[in-house]
Amino acid sequence: MTRGGVRRRLAKALIPASATAVLALWAFPIFWAIVVALKSESEVLAFPPSLVFKPTLANFGDSLVGRFSILPEMWTSLVISSVATLLTIVLAVPASYAFARLRLPAGKFLGFYVLATQMLPPVGLVIPYFLILNRVGWLDTYQGMITVYLTFSLPFAIWLMVSFMEDIPREMEEAAAIDRASRLKTLWYIILPQVRGGIAVTVVFVFLNCWDEFLFAVQLSGNHVRPVTVAMYNFVSVEQTLWAKLSAASLIAMVPVIAIGFAAQRHIVKGLTVGAVKGGGRR
């Protein structure tokens, strides 16, 4: 056998093997969460951990409808995340279109601004946010949390969508202008249908960020308005930590995110490969 042949066969065997290894590494915490969620609290603490046990769904029951139900908090998170995502998209679409098309002097700074918001340690912003929200009386309110999340997600969403908008040839809009479409109609009929993938990607990222957020949620809300991340924190206390219920609650809290991922999957793949190949009929 030639040396190239050996190398090819080796690569053929190595790629699935390493992919499996990476996948296992990534999936292990989830797998372990499932295992823990199926045990009773006392079994969780047994050492060495028992691999053979009698599985129970009691933790899921407790976390869903029982004494420890996280459903109200999930509803709170859903409201905050959905409204923040919706507002982000409604504002980011026209803004990113403007950044992509109009020669705005601020356009050059957008990338820097976005990076800056990602680089700032969030903990440094907690106190200013606390003071501001306290001053306007928005501490521990829906509008307060939504506003805080908007300040992070909006620049990121605009920055993400500008690249999708820029991929659409200018001539497309010029053709629309000649065909008597106004700017708004052009945005609605010509641009938006072509950036659906980009919007889907943005929705997933923004929703995910809001849903998963813990630091601001725990500092700026928690009594009247309590997101699911904060609720889960309550399973951990000085006296005891309810690991099994925490695991079950975590798994339940993942469901909406996974659902959104599945729903948007088709668009995401399309959105992420935009520009990789020339779109049909574009050039």
Query: By CB under 8 A, is residue 134 in contact with another protein?
Result: no
Q: What is the Cα–Cα distance from 36 to 220, expressed in whole angstroms?
A: 31
Task: Scan residues 252-281 and list those touching another protein (CB under 8 A).
Answer: 279-281
Count of residues near another protein by CB under 8 A: 22
Query: By CB under 8 A, is residue 67 in contact with another protein?
Result: no
44: which 2 tokens? 């969780």
Quote the least distance from Cβ 186 to another protein, whole Å.
9
β-bridge mates for residue 277, sequence order: 274
Q: Which stretch binds another protein (CB under 8 A): 78-86, 95-103, 181-189, 216-224?
A: 181-189
Residue 46: alpha-carbon gap to chain centroid: 35
Query: By CB under 8 A, is residue 104 in contact with another protein?
Result: no
Tell me if 118 sits within 8 A of 207, measured CB to CB: no
Query: By CB under 8 A, is residue 103 in contact with another protein?
Result: no
Binding-site member from 181, 208, 218, 257 for another protein (CB under 8 A): 181
Query: By CB under 8 A, is residue 178 in contact with another protein?
Result: yes
Tell me if 231 sits within 8 A of 249, measured CB to CB: yes
> Whose Cβ is closer to another protein: residue 25's or residue 276's?
276
> Whose Cβ is closer to another protein: residue 111's or residue 279's?
279
Query: By CB under 8 A, is residue 38 in contact with another protein?
Result: no
Q: What is the Cα–Cα distance from 269 to 178, expressed in whole angstroms?
A: 33
* 3-class DSSP assignment, residue 56: coil
Quote the least distance from Cβ 103 to another protein, whole Å.
12
Binding-site member from 174, 215, 259, 265 for another protein (CB under 8 A): 174
Binding-site member from 79, 172, 257, 274 for another protein (CB under 8 A): 172
Query: By CB under 8 A, is residue 179 in contact with another protein?
Result: yes
* Residue 101 neighbours by CB distance under 10 Å: 19
Question: 202-218 burial, b if ≥16 CB within 10 A, otherwise e?
Answer: bbbbbbbbbbbbeebbe
Query: By CB under 8 A, is residue 283 in contact with another protein?
Result: yes
Q: Which stretch binds another protein (CB under 8 A): 128-136, 187-195, 243-251, 267-275?
A: 187-195
What angle is formed at CA 163 by the lines to CA 161 and CA 168, rounded to 5 degrees? 100
Smallest CA-to-CA distance from 142 within 217, 231, 215, 232 is with 217
Helix (H) or strand (E) holding 115: helix 107-119
Q: What is the Cα–Cα distance from 161 to 148, expressed in whole angstroms?
A: 21
> Whose Cβ is closer to another protein: residue 119's or residue 277's?
277
Helix (H) or strand (E) holding 207: helix 196-212
Query: By CB under 8 A, is residue 58 in contact with another protein?
Result: no
Query: By CB under 8 A, is residue 167 in contact with another protein?
Result: no
Where on the chain is the footprint of another protein (CB under 8 A)? 169, 171-172, 174-182, 185, 189-190, 193-194, 279-283
